[in-house]
Amino acid sequence: MGKLYICGTPIGNLEDVSIRLLKTLRKVDFIVCEDTRRTIKLLNHYKIKKPLISYHEHSKKEKEDYILGLLMEGNEIALVSDAGMPGISDPGENLVKRAIDAEIPVEVIPGPTAAVSALAVSGIDASSFVFVGFLPNKKGKRREEILKLKEEKRTMVFYESPHRLIETLKDMQEIWGEDRRIAVARELTKVYEEVIRASLKEAVSYFELNPPKGEFTLVIEGDKTEKEASLEEILREVKELIESGINRNEAFKIKAREYKLRKSDLYKSFIEKYDM
Ligand code: SAM
């Protein structure tokens, strides 16, 4: 049995490779990649010559069967995408799942990813975040998705293309409010790298003056508005959480944090009201 290596590759700067990545690319029998022209650039830079197999979003099941067959015959294969980590808004996920199902050893060679790099440089709370990736192309569906995330408390990370950026920012501004903080990370690790830290309103104005070019990752703070509710409503929400199966202590913790109350006060009122 061979082995499948999931390899992270640079998101721009070709020097963002690890020694282990280069060793792996040098030792494998094949490299499975998205666009051979992109991968050849990286390989040429490090003078690596390997047979390439193209595998992309529209690859058929037969292509996966062929790659899995090579692995079962004992070949070692590196899986790369055009940039960053395979499987993260990139092809690879299905191949990895099928390799795991077939009990083929799978190992990760970690590398750069635009989402985590943008989060790290954003200056926005990174203690807990949601990776959303690309929003739907169609306006209606996109707005629906943005609406669903209106009360998301955690920081959110999105990928966006330059020609949709302004429209997406405007939708976010309209649905989430103009003051929400955002970091727009553009062309990270490349010559024209820039990070715009602003409110949604300021970001829209900036890009209307400076038409977006290049690759963009958006990091946006979660909903910070304080919810208002009567004690009665809060206690009912605690009860609903407990009834939905959430650990009792956790339910008090969640609601106390949400409404900025002391957990012990909430607990006391709850016992008085529900005697449970
Ligand atoms: N697999 C990749 C990863 O791990 O980051 C993401 C692939 S996805 C098809 C490509 C998107 O990632 C771009 O449209 C952009 O939103 C974001 N991206 C990639 N490189 C970037 C960079 N250098 N700076 C900012 N965003 C980038």
User: Which tens digit of pLDDT belongs to each residue from 73-96?
Assistant: 999 999 999 999 999 999 999 999
Whole-number pLDDT of residue 65: 96
Q: Are both 134 and 194 inside the same structural domain?
A: yes
Instruction: Answer yes or no: is 226 within a domain.
Output: no
The pick from 9, 11, 21 for probing ligand 1's pocket by mutation, whose C-beta has the most ligand atoms within 8 angstroms, reads 11
The pick from 6, 57, 159, 165 for probing ligand 1's pocket by mutation, whose C-beta has the most ligand atoms within 8 angstroms, reads 159
Q: Are both 133 and 80 inside the same structural domain?
A: no
The ligand 1 atom nearest the CA atom of 88: 1
3-state secondary structure of 5: strand
Q: Give the distance (Å) from ligand 1 centre to CA of residue 166.
A: 17
Q: Which residues line ligand 1 (CB under 6 A)?
A: 11-12, 81, 83-85, 88-90, 113-115, 159-161, 185, 187-190, 215-217
Q: How far apart are CA 158 and CA 142, in angstroms?
A: 12
The ligand 1 atom nearest the CA atom of 193: 24
Between 226 and 9, whose confidence is greater? Answer: 9
Q: Are both 105 and 120 inside the same structural domain?
A: no
Q: Which domain holds residue 82?
A: 3-112
User: Which tens digit of pLDDT belongs to each residue from 147-200?
Assistant: 999 989 999 999 999 999 999 999 999 999 999 999 999 999 999 999 999 999
Q: Are both 155 and 214 inside the same structural domain?
A: yes
138-145, long-range: CB < 8 A, 24+ apart:
139/167, 139/171, 142/168, 142/171, 143/171, 143/175
Domain finish residue from 200, 220, 240: 220
Domain finish residue from 56, 87, 112: 112
Mean pLDDT of the chain: 95
Domain finish residue from 88, 112, 136: 112
Q: Model confidence at 57, in pLDDT bands (50, 70, 90)?
A: confident
Nearest CA residue ID for atom 19, ligand 1: 114
Domain count, the chain: 3
Tokens read off for 136: 């739907």
Whole-number pLDDT of residue 70: 98
Q: Give the distance (Å) from ligand 1 centre to CA of residue 252.
A: 39
3-state secondary structure of 59: coil
Is it the case that residue 227 has pLDDT exceeding 90? no
Most confident of 36-45, 53-62, 224-233: 36-45
Q: Give the distance (Å) from ligand 1 centre to CA of residue 35.
A: 15
**Over pLDDT 90: what percentage of the chain?**
84
Between 225 and 3, whose confidence is greater? Answer: 3
Which neighbouring-strand residues pair with 158?
Answer: 133, 218
**Over pLDDT 70: what percentage of the chain?**
100
